[in-house]
Structure 1
Amino acid sequence: MAITTSGVGSGLDINGLITQLMTAERMPEKQMALKKAEFEAKLTALGSVKSALSTFQGTVAGLTSTSQFRKMSATLADTTIGTVTVSSIAAASSYSLKVDQIAQSHKVKSGSYSSIDSVVGSGKLTIQFGTLEQIDPADPSNLNPDGTYEPTDTKFTLNAKQAAIQVDIGPGSNTLSGIRDAINAKKAGVTASIINDGGGFRLVLSATESGADASMKISVTDDDGNATDAAGLSQLAYDATQAVGSGQNMTQTQQAQSAVFYLDGIKITKASNVVSDVLSGVTLTLQKATEGKTTSLSISRDTSGVVDKVGEFVKGYNELMAQLKELTAYNDKSKEAAVLQGDQAIRSVQTQLKGILNGVMAGSGDLRRLTDVGISFDKAGVMTFDTDKFGKALTSNPDAVASLFGAYGSTTDQQVKYISSKAATQAGNYPVIITDLATQGIVRANTVSNTNFDLTGLSTSFTIGINGKSSGNITLEAKNYGSMSALAAEMQTKINGDTGIKASGITASVVWNSVTERFEFSSTRFGKESKVEIGTASADAQTMLGMTTGKQATLFGGTLMSSTITAGVNDSLTLKVNGGAATAITLDAAAYANGNDLALHIQSKLDAEPALAGAKVVYNSANNRLEFFSANTGTNSAIEITSANPSVRETLGLSVRAGVTTGLDVAGSIGGVQAQGAGQVLTGQGEATGLALEVGGGLASPNGASRGMATYNRGFAYQLDQLLTSIQSKTGTLAGRSDSINKAIKGVDDQKERFERRMVTTEARYRAQFTALDVQIASLQNTSSYLNQQLAALTANNRR
C-alpha cells in the first residue's frame, strides 16, 4: 500500500502513517474471526444435533417397555355391575358372567351409651377372624332378627391367614371414644367408629377385609376379672358361639359374606369384590348382583397404542436423519458445504444408528429383524412402516414382537420367573439348573398326642423369634380348641398379631403335622435370613405343644428320584447327630411304595442306633424330598450326613452336608455358570450377569438336568436407547466433539490475545521510529535554514 505524508520536517503526519501501517499489520485478525465464527457455528450445529437426538430418544424410550406390545383391553356389556381391567398376560376370549352376591365385611355394634366419654372398662381386646357357619343353614332361626345368633347352632372356624389384633385398653383409653381411638391406632384389620342413633352412642366395629372367612371374634381380658359378662370391657366381647350376654355381647349389623358369581356357568366364591385370580391377568371389580341375568365379558388385544408409538418412532427417525443430512450436505450448485459436512462424529452417529436398525436379533424365530414386522427403508434411506404387517405380527406373536424392541426375558419353566436384568446382561439362551431349592427356617416341636387341643385350666404361653425379631409373651386362651389344626391356627394368628412381629413386617406359619404328630413353626420368608427360634415356653406349652427353647438343625435333601433301595448301590448313609459319633445305617433293599414309606423305613433305622436317636426324618411331598432334623433345639442341635453311597445323591437326593438352623438360599447355575442365590432369587454371572430369576417351586434339577431355558434379548429400541444415552453422555461422541471444538475456539482466542499483544508492541515500535525520524527531519530542517542564512549573508557581502 502507498504511504503518503503531508510534508517533511515538523509537518510529518506520524499518526496517519502509523494507522495505515497498523491496518496492514491487522490483516490476519479477520482470518482469526472467520475461523472462530466457523467453530462456533459447528458448536451450535452440534447442539442442534444433540437436541434432535434427544427428541428421537423420546420416541425410542416409548418402545422399550415390553408390556405394551402385549396390551389387552376388556369390556363388560353391563357396566353397572362392575369394572374390569386386564394386564398383558390376559388371553383374548369372551365369557358369560352372572353375579349372585357381592362380598361384604362384618360389622358389629355395642350397646347404647349416654356419651362418647362414657366409661366402658379396661383390659385387653383380642380380635380374630374366621368363618361363622350355621350348622343348619336351612334353619332361619339360627340368625335372629335382632342380629344375634343361636350359639348351639353356630360354629366359628379361625382363619389362620389373618393375624390377631391385640388392643390394650388402659385407664386413659377406657371410654367409648378412647377405645375407638385405640383400635384405630392399630391400623390393622378393624375400623372403629361411634354412631349416634338418636337414643344414644354406639361403638361400631367394621372388618376392613370382606368375605365369609373374615367374621370377627372379639375376646376380652377384663380387668374386673370376668371376660364374658356384660359388664366392664366385657361389654365388647363378641363370640357368636356363646350366649347373648355371656360372650355374645355385641350385635351384628352386617353379616360377613363372600362374592358369589358364575363365569361360563362355573360357580366361583371369593372373599373380595376385587377378583384377580380367576382369569390370568384379569381383575374384576364387582359392584352389584345381576339379579339372575347374565352379561358378557370380552377380552381382546389392544394394538392401537403401540402402533401409534411405532409410527412416532418412524417419523422421529426420518426427521432426525433429514436434519443430519441438512447439516452435513454439500451443494453442488452453490459449491458450498454445510457446517458439519465431513464431520467424523456425525458420520459415527449415523453409522451406529443404522448398524442397530439393520441388525438381527438372537434366536431362531420368524421375527428377528425390523423388516419382519413391517419396518424397512426405501431406496432413499427413508424409514417406512407397514401397519398391516406390524398388526398381524403383533396379534399372532406379541411376545416375539416385544422381544424385538425392549429388553425382554422369558423362561420355559412356569415356576422359574424372569425378574430383571442389567446393562451387562448379554442376549442369549441360558439353561437353568437348580441344585438346591430355597427353604424356610423351621422348628419342629416334639411329638405330642393328637388330642392335646384342650387347654382348659392351663397356662400355655411362649415367646418366639422370627427372622431375628422376637415376640412378646404369647398366651393362648385356656379352652378346648376342638382339633390340633384349630390350635395351630390359633398360635399362627397370635404370633402374626404380636406387636413386635407385626411391626417388622414378618409373618410365620404354624401347622399341625398329623403324620409326625408335632407342631411345625416356620418363617414365610425363604433363604438364609429365614430363622425361627423358640424363646421361652411355659411348662404347659412344653407338655401340651411339645415346645422346647432354641433353634433346630434341619438337613434338606434334594429331589427324591426313586423310592427303590438297591443293596450296595444306594443303601448306605453315615450321620452325626447332636455332636455324637458318626454312625452308619444300611437300608433294606426294597421298592418302597412312596416317599413317606421310605421315610418311615429310614426312621426305623435311625431309631435303632442309640447315637442317632435324636435324628428324625420326614418326607416333604410338596417338594418331593427327604428332610432330616434334630429333635433337639438350642446349641446342641446338629445333624450331618458325613458319607453316602455315590448313587444316594442321584436317587434319594442326599449328599454329604451339614444341617442348618436357618433356611437355604436357592442354588444353581444359569448358562453353565454358578449363579448367586438370595432367598428364591437366582442371579446369573458371566454373560448372564444381572439376569435375575425367581424360582418359586418345582424340584431341584434331577441328576443335573435343566429346569428349562431362560432367554434374554436386548431389542432394537433398548439398544437404541442405550446408544443414544451413551452418545449424549458427558463422555460420549458429541461431548468429545464439542470439547474438541471448544479447545479450538480457545486456541483462536489465545492466538488473538497473543496477536493483540504483538500489535501493541508493533505500534509502539512504529511510533518510536517515526518520532526519531521526525526529530532527524526537524534537525535537518534547522541545519538547512542555518546554511541558507549563511549563504545569503555571503552573497550580500560579495555584492558590496
Structure 2
Amino acid sequence: MGVLMVSGTSSTTSNNGSTGSSIISALGTGSGIDTNKLADQLTEASKMVQAERLTTKKTLLETQISDFGLLRSSLSKLETAAAALGSADTFNAKALSIPETTLLGITKLDAKAVAGSYQLKVEQVAQAQSLSSGTFSSMTAPIGKGTLTIRLGEWNAAVNDFEVDSTKTGATITIDDTNNSLTGLRDAINKANIGVSASIVSDGGSFKLLLASKSGAKNEIEITAAEDAGALGLASFNFNETTRNLTQLQEGLDAKVRVNGLLVSRESNQIKDVVEGLEFDLFASSLTETVSVTINEDKSIAEQTIRDFVTAYNTFKTEVEKLVGFDTEAKGYGSLHRDPLASSMMKGLRNILSASVPGLSGGFTSLSNLGIRTELDGSLKITESEGNTGFRAAIDNNFALVRDLFVPKTSASVSGIEVTKYSAKSQPGTYDVVITQQPSKGKLTAGAMVATFPLDTTGKDYSFKLKLNDIETATITLPAGKIYTSGAELATELQSLINLDTNLKAVKSTLAVSFDAGKLVFTSDSYGSTSKVEFSTIGADMTDLGISVGAGTTGTNVGGTVNGEVAFGYGNVLLPALNTKAEGLSMTVQPGTTSGSITFSRGFAGTMTTMINDYLKTSGLIKEREANINKDIDNVKDDEETLNRRSEAYRARLMAQFQAMESIVRGLNSTGDFLDGILDRLPFTAKSG
C-alpha cells in the first residue's frame, strides 16, 4: 500500500511541476512581447476614426477656400460684363462721316452727340488780342511801383471805348520792391492766371513787354495803373479809355461758324458746344467751302456688349456649376454643393435674369422682352427672331427701350426738379416730392438812384466794402473820370469790380448786379441760409447810387418731403431722409417748384452689379464666408491637437500597464527559477543517489 501511495504522489507532483515549468519556459526571462509596437497599434486604432473624420472635414474646408477663390474670379468676370451694359456710352455710341478738308478737324465724338447731318461753314477763325509796350533799356531796371488793374472785355473798332465783360474776373497786379522790373511784371501777370500771357522780347538791345489775351472778341485787355507817388512809371502800361500807352498789334476776334445756316460765334477755335457731343478745331476760313458732317447711331457696340454678357454668363454658369453642382468630370458634387452662401448667390442671379427690373414700368422691363431666354439647364439663349419680336427686332426697332432696360435712369415729372445723384443705398422706385420752402439767394436791393445818367465819377468817392456770404472784400472803387451812360452799364461795372476782389476769388464766391426800376440789385450766386449780401462801409458819395450801410435779405434753404418723410435741404439741394428707401438720391430744386415725383431705376446692369458687389467687395459676403471657413479650419487643427494629446496620454497609460505586466512576468520568472527542481528537493520526492 505504501509503495502505491508513494508511486501515486510522485506521479502527480511531477506532472504539476512539468506544467509550471513549461509556462515559465514559454515566458522566458520576460514577456517576449514588443510592448512599444503594441502600444502604437492600440493607440492608432483608438484614434483612427476621429482622425479620419477630422482629416475629411479639413480637406473639405480647404477645398471650399480654394473653390471660393475660383468662384470670386468667375463672378468678377461676370461683373465686368454686366458693368459694360450699365454704361450709357455703350448705348449712345456714334459713327462719324466727314470728307477731307483743311478747314477743320474733328477732335472728339461723344456718345451724347445727336445723330443727324450738319453743314459747317467756317467764316472766321478766332484770334487773340496782342499788345506791345514801349522800349526799355533793361529787363531788370525799376519800372515804378503801385498796382495794375487788368480787366477783360471788348474794345470798339476805334479802340477808344471799352465794354467790360462782367463774367470774367481779371486781376490786380501789385508791383513793389520784390518785383519792380520788367521781368517782375511779366512773372506777376503770368502768375495771376487770368488768361493773359506776358513775355519779353529783345529789340536790338532794348526790350518790350508783349501781352496776349486768350482768343475772342471779349477777351481783350484793359489796363489801369495806380502809381505810388514816390515811384512813378507804371502809367506807361496804361491801356484804357483815357490813356493808351501800349500799342495794339492784333485785335481779338471770335470764331464764326455757320451750322446748317445758323451763324454762331465762339471765343476759341476749339469748338466744343455748337453740335452737342461733337468737338472740332478750326484751322482756316472759307466763304465758299462747306463741310458736310454726318453722325449716325452705332448700335453695333451695344448689341455686341449684350451678346458678350450672355456668353459671359453661360461661361460663368459652366465654371461655377462644377463648384456648386454635380461635376461630371470628377463624377461627384462640388465642395460648395451644400454651402448656403453659394446657393443663395446662384438663386439671386437667376432671379435677376428672370425678374422685371425694379423701377421700370412700361417698355422693356426684363431680358425676355429682348428675346433672351433661360434654358432648362439654366443657361441663357438669344432668340434672334420670333415673328416680329426677338432680339433683332428689339435692337433695330426699339433701341431706346433696350437702353433703358440696362442703364441706370433717373427722371422727374416736372422741369423744376432734377435728380443729380444716387448711391448704393438708393432703392429703385417712384417717390413723391413736396416742396414746403422755396430756395432763394441772398439779395440786396439798393434805394432809388439819386444821381442821374450819364453818371460822371470825376471828383466822387464811389468806394465801398461789401460782404458776400460773410466774406468781406477789400475796398472797391469805381474808376475816376469815367462816365456811365446807363444803369445797366453801371451794374456791369460794379459786378466786374466786385467779382475781381481777391478775397471773394479765394472762396469762389460771386454775385450778379442788375439795374431794375431805377435801383441797383445785388444778388448772390449761391442759394441757402449762408447766402448774404451786405455793404459794410461806403464812401461819401455812395448814397448817390442809393447804397447805404446794411444787409439785404438772407437766402433760404429748400425744404420739403420725399414720400411723406421730411427731407434735408441745403441751398437748392434736397436730400431724402436717412434710412428711407430714397436715401442717397440727390435733387436740385428750382424756385417756384411746388411738387412733383422722381423715379429711379438701376437698370438690369446696375441691379446685377450691385448684387455681385455685395459678394465681391472687401467686406463682402464671400470674404466673410472665407473668414468663417478659416476659423473652422483652425478649430479642426485645434481638435487634431487635442486628439493627439489624448492619444499620447492613452499610449502612456498603456505603456504603464505593460511595464506593470513586465514586472509581474519578471516575478513569475523568478518564481519559475525557484520552482525548478523543487520536487527533487522535497522530502519523499527527492531522487536517491
TM interval, shorter chain, is 0.7 to 0.9
Name the counterpart of 1:763: 651
SS at match of 1:365: coil
Name the counterpart of 2:247: 251
Written as runs of structure 1 = structure 2, the 5 A alignment for 1:279-678 is: 279-290=275-286, 292-330=288-326, 336-361=332-357, 362-385=359-382, 393=394, 400-448=401-449, 449-451=451-453, 453-479=455-481, 480-513=483-516, 515=517, 517-542=518-543, 544-552=544-552, 661-671=553-563, 673-678=565-570
Asked if the contact 1:73/1:85 (under 8 Å) is kept, the reply is: no
What is the CA–CA distance in structure 1 between the aligned matches of 2:471 and 2:317, rounded to whole Å? 61
- Which letter does structure 2 place at the counterpart of 1:667? G
Asked if the contact 1:113/1:201 (under 8 Å) is kept, the reply is: yes
Asked if the contact 2:324/2:333 (under 8 Å) is kept, the reply is: yes
What is the CA–CA distance in structure 1 between the aligned matches of 2:529 and 2:254, rounded to whole Å? 38
Name the counterpart of 2:11: none
Of the two structures, which has the highest relative contact order with CA contacts closer than 8 Å and spacing of 6 or more?
2
Residue 414 and residue 393 in structure 1: after superposition, are their counterparts in 2 closer, same or farther (change >3 A)?
A: farther
Cα displacement string for residues 665-707 of structure 1 (whole angstroms, at most 9, x for unaligned residues): 233444455433222222234443332222346x333xxxx45
SS at match of 1:45: helix
Counterpart selection for 1:693 from 576, 581, 587: 587
- Alignment of 1:114 with 2:116, yes or no, is no
- Which letter does structure 2 place at the counterpart of 1:19? D
Gaps of 5+ in 1: 135-141, 143-148, 553-660
Identity %: 31
> Deviation at 1:122?
1.7
What is the CA–CA distance in structure 2 between the aligned matches of 1:72 and 1:684, rounded to whole Å? 36
- Which letter does structure 1 place at the counterpart of 2:32? L
Counterpart selection for 2:576 from 671, 684, 700: 684
- Alignment of 1:16 with 2:37, yes or no, is yes
What is the CA–CA distance in structure 2 between the aligned matches of 1:539 and 1:792, rounded to whole Å? 153
Asked if the contact 2:31/2:665 (under 8 Å) is kept, the reply is: no
- Alignment of 1:165 with 2:171, yes or no, is yes
Residue 673 and residue 779 in structure 1: after superposition, are their counterparts in 2 closer, same or farther (change >3 A)?
A: closer
Written as runs of structure 1 = structure 2, the 5 A alignment for 1:671-750 is: 671=563, 673-685=565-577, 686-696=580-590, 699-701=592-594, 706-707=595-596, 709-729=597-617, 732-735=620-623, 737-750=625-638
Asked if the contact 1:260/1:267 (under 8 Å) is kept, the reply is: yes
SS at match of 1:275: strand
Residue 430 and residue 36 in structure 1: after superposition, are their counterparts in 2 closer, same or farther (change >3 A)?
A: closer
Gaps of 5+ in 2: 1-24
Counterpart selection for 1:61 from 71, 80, 83: 83
What is the CA–CA distance in structure 2 between the aligned matches of 1:107 and 1:732, rounded to whole Å? 61
What is the CA–CA distance in structure 2 between the aligned matches of 1:700 and 1:41, rounded to whole Å? 60
> Deviation at 1:40?
1.9
Query: CA RMSD, aligned part only?
Result: 2.9
Name the counterpart of 2:672: 784
- Which letter does structure 1 place at the counterpart of 2:486? S
> Deviation at 1:435?
5.0
Asked if the contact 1:666/1:681 (under 8 Å) is kept, the reply is: yes
What is the CA–CA distance in structure 2 between the aligned matches of 1:350 and 1:755, rounded to whole Å? 38
Residue 789 and residue 506 in structure 1: after superposition, are their counterparts in 2 closer, same or farther (change >3 A)?
A: same
What is the CA–CA distance in structure 1 between the aligned matches of 2:443 and 2:624, rounded to whole Å? 59
- Alignment of 1:102 with 2:102, yes or no, is no
> Deviation at 1:792?
3.6
Residue 17 and residue 280 in structure 1: after superposition, are their counterparts in 2 closer, same or farther (change >3 A)?
A: closer
- Alignment of 1:219 with 2:242, yes or no, is no
Residue 201 and residue 272 in structure 1: after superposition, are their counterparts in 2 closer, same or farther (change >3 A)?
A: same
What is the CA–CA distance in structure 1 between the aligned matches of 2:498 and 2:312, rounded to whole Å? 59
Asked if the contact 2:559/2:569 (under 8 Å) is kept, the reply is: yes
- Alignment of 1:51 with 2:73, yes or no, is yes
Asked if the contact 1:112/1:199 (under 8 Å) is kept, the reply is: no
Cα displacement string for residues 114-150 of structure 1 (whole angstroms, at most 9, x for unaligned residues): 221132222211111222122xxxxxxx5xxxxxx5x
- Which letter does structure 2 place at the counterpart of 1:369? S
SS at match of 1:173: coil
Aligned residue pairs, count: 652
Residue 739 and residue 502 in structure 1: after superposition, are their counterparts in 2 closer, same or farther (change >3 A)?
A: closer
Residue 6 and residue 754 in structure 1: after superposition, are their counterparts in 2 closer, same or farther (change >3 A)?
A: farther
Asked if the contact 1:665/1:679 (under 8 Å) is kept, the reply is: yes
SS at match of 1:711: strand
Larger radius of gyration: 2
Cα displacement string for residues 50-90 of structure 1 (whole angstroms, at most 9, x for unaligned residues): 22222222222233333432333445434641325344443
SS at match of 1:127: strand
> Deviation at 1:472?
0.3
What is the CA–CA distance in structure 1 between the aligned matches of 2:501 and 2:638, rounded to whole Å? 75
Asked if the contact 1:69/1:394 (under 8 Å) is kept, the reply is: no
- Which letter does structure 2 place at the counterpart of 1:161? T
> Deviation at 1:433?
4.4
> Deviation at 1:412?
4.2
TM-score by length of 1: 0.76
Residue 461 and residue 692 in structure 1: after superposition, are their counterparts in 2 closer, same or farther (change >3 A)?
A: same
Between 1:444-453 and 1:161-170, the stretch displaced more is 444-453
Written as runs of structure 1 = structure 2, the 5 A alignment for 1:265-284 is: 265-284=261-280
Between 1:36-45 and 1:172-181, the stretch displaced more is 36-45
- Alignment of 1:238 with 2:239, yes or no, is yes
- Which letter does structure 1 place at the counterpart of 2:649? T
> Deviation at 1:474?
0.6
Name the counterpart of 2:18: none
What is the CA–CA distance in structure 2 between the aligned matches of 1:671 and 1:276, rounded to whole Å? 40
What is the CA–CA distance in structure 1 between the aligned matches of 2:454 and 2:341, rounded to whole Å? 81
Asked if the contact 2:680/2:687 (under 8 Å) is kept, the reply is: no
